[in-house]
């Protein structure tokens, strides 16, 4: 696999790595005092995701693609699992992130999925996408190698902003693609229903789902997100490039290893699972890349 684009200046700052590591979500699970208390869990191949976890379990209630229900890849044929068995082991097909087919040979995912547990660009020689595999313990569907990746060159690891990347597959998949929202399209009104899918953590303590799950969450206002993430160790919300979704009381959310997966609004790809403080905590909605802000750049990168 070759990589075009770069991580941006944030990827070269050790302090930035530490701060971002605490909150690039659960997908990096953030907890109080994460700075300086990080463990690189992926080295043993047992923990999926380019995740950096705090040395204690997240606080709050148990988390699933939190509060969700089983889903299947027949209904959602455009969702794929990102896989690296060399890095994450063969259990669950080596899944560590998710992505969405936006063209037969193009997958949209999160830029942070292209980094390792130390915040450096990952070198995964066996990187593949797995399509049509509802249960990652099976051999259903197809596995296709990733020929190249393009990480948004303006991605800021320190702020976890502008978080998107496009993967080019070695061969196309003919299973259908998910349309994206248009450039500059405003589909993010408060309380708009949205749906998130993934194979992420079901407890917040490293119990990863083998079966695809989904959860419905409402879009939250920019003001609510700014209050939840005003800056500092737990991150800063940027309404130009991000959107939040979740319940005020918590209980529904994405979690670790859901990174890069889709946020759907009216059947279109409107967000990419990115970061947040913990999983499904009260007043801590999930933060997603705002696809409409980057739709033109994504299409250009994908040659669409």
- Write down the catalytic residue from 105, 112, 209, 277: 112
Identify the CA nearest to 290 among candidates 194, 213, 197, 177.
194
- Write down the catalytic residue from 259, 274, 277, 292: 259
The pairing of beta strand 106-109 with beta strand 95-103 = antiparallel
DSSP letter (8 states) at residue 157: T
- Write down the catalytic residue from 163, 201, 238, 258: 163
Under a CB-based contact definition with an 8 Å cutoff, are residues 274 and 237 in contact? no
Would you call 76 a catalytic residue per the annotation? no
Q: Count, in order, helices (H) and strands (E) of the chain.
A: 4, 16
Identify the CA nearest to 252 among candidates 31, 59, 73, 62.
62
Under a CB-based contact definition with an 8 Å cutoff, are residues 160 and 17 in contact? no
| Residue 42: how many other CB atoms lie within 10 Å | 23
The H or E element spanning position 106 is strand 106-109
Distance CA 176, CA 78 (A): 6
Q: Which residues are designated catalytic?
A: 112, 163, 259
């Amino acid at each position: 696999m070759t990589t075009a684009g770069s991580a941006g200046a944030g990827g070269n700052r050790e302090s930035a790595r530490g701060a971002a590591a605490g909150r690039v979500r659960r997908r990096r699970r953030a907890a109080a005092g994460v700075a300086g208390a990080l463990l690189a869990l992926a080295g043993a191949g047992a923990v999926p995701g380019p995740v950096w976890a705090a040395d204690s379990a997240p606080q709050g209630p148990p988390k699933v693609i939190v509060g969700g229900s089983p889903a299947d890849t027949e209904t959602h044929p455009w969702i794929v699992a990102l896989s690296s068995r060399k890095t994450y082991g063969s259990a669950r097909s080596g899944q560590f992130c998710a992505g969405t087919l936006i063209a037969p040979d193009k997958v949209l995912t999160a830029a942070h999925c292209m980094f390792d547990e130390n915040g450096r660009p990952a070198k995964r020689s066996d990187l593949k996408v797995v399509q049509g595999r509802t249960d990652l313990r099976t051999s259903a569907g197809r596995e296709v190698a990733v020929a190249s990746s393009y990480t948004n060159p303006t991605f800021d690891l320190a702020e976890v902003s502008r978080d998107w990347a496009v993967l080019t597959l070695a061969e196309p998949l003919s299973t259908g693609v998910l349309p994206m929202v248009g450039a500059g399209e405003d589909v993010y009104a408060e309380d708009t229903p949205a749906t998130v899918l993934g194979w992420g953590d079901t407890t917040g303590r490293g119990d990863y789902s083998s079966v695809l799950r989904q959860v419905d969450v409402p879009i939250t206002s920019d003001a609510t997100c700014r209050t939840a993430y005003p800056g500092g160790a737990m991150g800063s919300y940027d309404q130009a490039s991000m959107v939040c979704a979740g319940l005020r009381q918590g209980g529904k959310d994405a979690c670790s290893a859901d990174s890069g997966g889709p946020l759907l609004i009216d059947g279109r790809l409107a967000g990419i699972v990115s970061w947040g403080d913990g999983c499904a905590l009260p007043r801590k909605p999930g933060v997603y890349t705002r696809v409409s802000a980057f739709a033109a750049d994504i299409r250009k990168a994908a040659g669409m």
